[in-house]
Structure 1
Amino acid sequence: MKCVFCYKKNIVTDFIYEDEMVMAFMDMDPINEGHVLIVPREHYLDVDEIPDEVLSNLILVSKKIVAALKEIYRPDGYSIMQNGGEFNDVGHYHLHVFPRYKNDGFSWTYSSEKKEVNADIAREIRKKLLISSR
């Protein structure tokens, strides 16, 4: 099966923005009215696969969309989020941008199990970041 986001003609919703790197359109199953998806034109599954120029453009486009959503909806806030790996339900990187309201029912659910903040893990991540930035 071909990726639905790789073929613009397969996307059956309203487009709100397009350039040479990304396109943005209304989510078919919105969290709240004004829920937008921003996707790179090229196929990528995860954020770490996306070239820096395209990723920077995704964020800049999300900034423009947030400004428009704030003006149109006057929300209490907004969310920008994405799911990677097995949690990417479409198989193509996409960034969700949507207005938020107090008591809108959307929540970030935390486990009831207490997790420890671990200095060893932080040190390991720092080490990997230093290696990858060389």
Structure 2
Amino acid sequence: MPTSDPDCPFCEIVQRDDPDAREVYRDEHVVAFFPTEPAVLGHTMVIPRKHVPDIWSMDEETAGHLARATVRLAGAIREAVHPEGLNVIQSNGEAATQTVFHLHVHLVPRWDGDAMGPIWPEETDYSEEEKDDVLMRVRTACRSMKP
């Protein structure tokens, strides 16, 4: 997989080719910046420097670097803006609302009554049989994973 994509806006940020990027953190593995249209003030995005389209394309080493940076940046956001809560959002594929196909993690500080609103449905109506079927399929898939 290439380390960058010339058509990717997040690769532009990694390459420092986007003068409008509000970068807050950079190390040898990740870059963190404010999105152009933040959901709330303090909303920060964390991306691997290597171009990775989605979670299914990411190797475990990159995942480890991304996870460590995400935890550190969550702490920095907490210290800087004193939120009442924090959403950590990572979407994959158009159906999950991914619009830029360079893996990214949203760190969204939350306050009661903020502009984000709820992110989960009030309730669902899946049958016990449907839930058990998916449980068995995921368990089976987990057994075939490499340790």
Provide the TM-score with structure 1 as the length reference. Answer: 0.89
Q: How does 1:3-18 map to 2 (within 5 A)?
A: 3-8=8-13, 9-10=17-18, 12-18=20-26
Q: Deviations over 1:42-97 (max 9, x none)?
A: 21221121111111111111111111111111111111101101131011111000
Q: Distance in 2 between matches of 1:116 and 1:39?
A: 38
Give identity over the alignment, percent: 25
Task: State the match for 1:70 in structure 2.
Answer: 78
1:112, distance to aligned residue in structure 2 (A): 6.1
Q: Distance in 2 between matches of 1:50 and 1:27?
A: 22
The one of 57, 60, 76 aligned to 1:52: 60
Segment drifting more, 108-117 vs 78-87? 108-117
Paired positions, count: 134
Are the counterparts in 2 of residues 38 and 94 from structure 1 also a CA contact under 8 Å?
yes
Provide the TM-score with structure 2 as the length reference. Answer: 0.82
Q: Distance in 2 between matches of 1:25 and 1:40?
A: 12
Are the counterparts in 2 of residues 4 and 11 from structure 1 also a CA contact under 8 Å?
no
Task: State the match for 1:96 in structure 2.
Answer: 106
Give the unaligned 5+ runs of structure 1: none
Q: Over aligned residues, Cα RMSD in angstroms? A: 1.8
| 2:102 partner SS | coil
Task: State the match for 2:132 in structure 1.
Answer: 119
Q: Deviations over 1:4-33 (max 9, x none)?
A: 111231362221111222111111111111
Task: State the match for 2:31 in structure 1.
Answer: 23
Are the counterparts in 1 of residues 77 and 109 from structure 2 also a CA contact under 8 Å?
yes
Aligned: 1:129 with 2:142: yes
Which runs of 4 or more aligned residues in structure 1 lie more than 4 Å from their structure 2 counterparts after TM superposition?
none
